[in-house]
Structures are given as structure tokens and as C-alpha cells.
Amino acid sequence: MMRGPSFSARFRHPAQVVVAAFVVAVAIGTVLLSLPMATTAGEPADWVSALFTSTSAVCVTGLAVVDTEAHWSVFGEVVIAGLVQVGGLGIMTMATLFTLLISGRLGLRAKIAAQAETKTLSTSDVRRVVRKVVLFSLVCEVIAAVVLTGRFMIGYGESFGRALYLGAFHSVTAFNNAGFALWPDSLIRFVTDPWICLTIAIATIVGGLGFPVVFELARSWRHPRKWTVLTRITVGMTVVLLVLGTLVFLMTEWRNPRTLGALDDPGKLLAAFFTAVMPRSAGFNSLDISQMYPSSWLATELLMFIGGGSAGTAGGLKVTTLGLLVFVVWAELRGETRVNIGHRRLPEATQRQAVTITTLGVALVAVSTYVLLALTPHTLDQVLFEVVAAFGTAGLSTGITAHVGVAGHLLLVFLMFIGRLGPLTLGSALALNTRARHYELPEERVIVG
């Protein structure tokens, strides 16, 4: 008799397991948020709002079609925080395990060299990896929660219970780069408060760097020459993007009376830095995004599309991908036949993976922007901002999220899911699906450009 494929046959590739797990998490979150007890009105939420919020939480995005505090009850907010935690830990754990799995496919000589230099773990240490990821995440969240709780009590007169709730909720959403806030204006009311803004910004940056990079920095932060290529690119690109982003927002919005123009100089610097951090994938905002100049929107879109570090809670194409492309372009401009980073040569397969992920990301954003323009009456700059925010799981918006219709919401749900899992699963699939060709075809030069 003919028998259907077994479960193991259907999920032969680890990426399939990750996608299936996140689908299940989104489904469970949708059901929980659809319960009457999840809303302040005591009535079941409509399925689109529940699905959108659940996807946004699991994919640690932060986009919302309803006011989080006004629409969802305490139970609903706890569900959202739980989904954010599951999504963030899931991404960090799976990305780290993929790193180990991919390193296990290296040749013996390359594997010995890599382990000797980086002191990386082997695939037999999976339990220890997961335990360290979870412990690292929880410690960071607790530290941020303590600082925020103290600030809410001392600076804003909140009771201990309320301050603890606010601190815990926002530490979870900050470290996991989710961007859900319990105020209708996100963090605009705290725009000049360094205790709130810097705590959330630091938690966002640490969560977005990625587990392998953070632990390598903890081991050898005094010896940059010993850093791996991953750490060098991640740290270097992160610093460059934060500095450039801060400068761009300062120059662009300095005299805008609806954003930086109303603040004093220290407040402008703090707000510009916070605004440069958040597009990395976090989604909080201390300035009104809808009142920014279009040039600032473009800068924000570029930062959202790039995202944060690999094997972290940030989304986007990853700074690693951008860094690799920079070195590839630089080598091509110099006429070099090999791409070298420090004292290491970049494999051609890795170069192709970076080009493939970037090209597919650009294509997806372009097609989705066209579709959403056709579905809604909004302008190109508003729609493009929304699409990039969903794909980059950044959670920022010009204010049109709730007004794109059911079809638009479903498109954004798709983009958040693909944007969260796409680069991870596609990157691992490309790395694990290498095949040796036993013959070579004749070479033919093609005119480029």
C-alpha cells in the first residue's frame, strides 16, 4: 500500500522545523489574543487584529493595528510579552544552533583552524549553547527591568507594582527588539529622559548584536586583532551605522519644530541617537515619525532594511551581509581576484549567499510596495516605509498601519514572517545545501554594465 511521507521526511531540513515552530507559535498567540479576557472590553478581538498582533510579537516586530494599552487587557499584554520572549529566544537559539550546524559542515582543516581561533563550541554542546543563550537573555532583561522599574518609581511616581510591570514589559520588548510600548505615543513622553531612553537603547543594541558576538567580546574585548571576521564586521558596521544615523538625524531634523527643533541641545543629541538605534529592528520611537522630513524617512528605511547582527534578536538583512558586500565591492574595484577580510579569505560561497539574500530582499520589498500601493490610497513614501518596517521587523510606522485594510494587514503579516525568518532560514539553507560539481563548463565573458 502507498503510504504518505513520514514526519521526518517532511522536515528533513532544520529550517523547515524553525518555520513550523514559528507558525505554531503565531497560531497559539492568535487563539489566546482572540479570547474575551485578552481585551479591555471583555469581547473577543477580531481575527485580523489577533493574527497581526501575534505575528508582530512572535516575529519581534512591534507594528500594531490597535493601541496596545487601550485595547489589550493585562492578560493580553502578558500574552504579547510572552510571545515576544518566545520569538526572541527562539531566534537567538536557532540562529546559534544553525551556526554550529553550518560549522560542522566545514572541512577538517578549516574546522580546526576556526575552532582554534574562535574557541567556538562543537555541535555536541547544544545543551550548553541553549542554556547560555537563555541565561544571557534573562540576565540582560533583569538588569534593564531593574533600572526601568527604579526610574518609573523615582522619576514618575509609579507604585512599585506598576513600575515593576512597566519595567519588565519594556525590558523584554527592548532586548528582543520588539518595540511594543504601553503608551499610545510609544516613548515620546520620555524623549529627554536618559534613564529610560539609554537603558532601552542599550538593551536593544546588546540583543541585536547576536549571541556569538557578545560572548566573543566578553572573552577578548581587549584584543580586537583576535576577533573573528563575524565580530569585526558586526561591531564595525554597528558603530558606523549608529554614528552616521545619529549625525544624519541631527542634521536633518535639527530645525524641525515638530521633532528635534523643540528640544535643547542635549535633548537633541539623545533623541537623535535613540532614533538611530531603533530602526536597527527595535520599533520604539521618542520622536513623532509622521512629523519627520521625507529625507529622515529615507534614512530610517535604509537602517531598517539593513537591520542588526546575525544570531541576534534584530531583523533586516543583517549588518554582516552588508559588511560582506562592502568588502566584495571594494575587492572588485581594486581588481583583486579574492576577497580578504583581515587575515582571512572570504569563501566564494559566502559571497554568493550575501548577494542572493540582498537581491531577494530588495525584490520582495519592491513587489510588496507595489501591491500595497495598489491596495491603499497612501503615498509612496508612506507605503515604502511601512513595507520596509515590516520586512526589517522594525515596528516603526508613519501612522498608517491601522488604515491599510484587511488585505494590507495580511500582506504585512506575510512580510513580518518572511522578514523575521527569511534571512535566517535562507542563509542556513544556502550554507547547508552546497553540492560539489565534478566538472566545469567552458568559461564565457559577459558584458556587465
Q: pLDDT tens, 406-434?
A: 999 999 999 998 888 776 565 555 555 55
Rounded to a whole number of angstroms, the CA Rg of the chain reads 22
3-state class of 400 per DSSP? Answer: coil
Q: Within 13 A of 304's CA, how many CA atoms are on the CB side?
A: 32
**CB 233 within 8 Å of CB 319:** yes
Residues 6 or more apart whose CB falls under 8 angstroms from that of 25 comprise 58, 83, 86, 87, 90
Residue 168, pLDDT score: 96
**What CA–CA distance (Å, rounded) separates 396 from 282?**
8
Residue 78 to residue 65: CA distance in whole angstroms? 18
Please report whether residue 8 resides in a domain.
no
Instruction: Please report whether residue 136 resides in a domain.
Output: yes
- What does the pLDDT read at residue 424? 58
Determine the Cα–Cα distance for residues 444 and 264; give it in Å rounded to an integer: 62
* DSSP at 397: -
What is the per-residue pLDDT for 282? 85
Number of domains present in the structure of the chain: 1
Closest CA to 313 of 124, 197, 140: 140
For the stretch 62-76, pLDDT in tens is 999 999 999 999 999
Instruction: Answer whether 173's CB lies under 8 Å from 84's CB.
Output: yes
Q: Is residue 165 in a domain?
A: yes
Specify the pLDDT at position 447: 74
Q: Label residue 347 exposed, middle or buried (CB < 10 Å: 0-12, 13-18, 19+).
A: middle
d(CA 439, CA 356): 23
Residues 71, 65: Cα–Cα separation, whole Å: 10
User: Does 32 fall in a domain?
Assistant: yes
Specify the 3-state DSSP secondary structure of 374: helix
Structural domain includes residue 174 = yes
Answer yes or no: is 449 within a domain: no
Written as one letter, the residue type at 185 is D
Q: Which residues of the chain have pLDDT under 70?
A: 1-17, 91-127, 423-437
Q: List the domain range (segments joined by +) for residue 378.
A: 15-429
Structural element, H or E, at residue 187: none
The answer to the question of residue 437 being in a domain is no
Q: Please state, in angstroms and as integers, the Cα–Cα distance from residue 410 to each residue in 149, 281, 314, 399, following that order.
A: 36, 20, 22, 17
> Which sign, positive or negative, has the C-alpha torsion 102, 108, 114, 119?
positive
In a domain, 440, yes or no: no
- Distances in Å between the alpha carbon of 329 and those of 257, 325, 335, 336? 40, 6, 10, 10
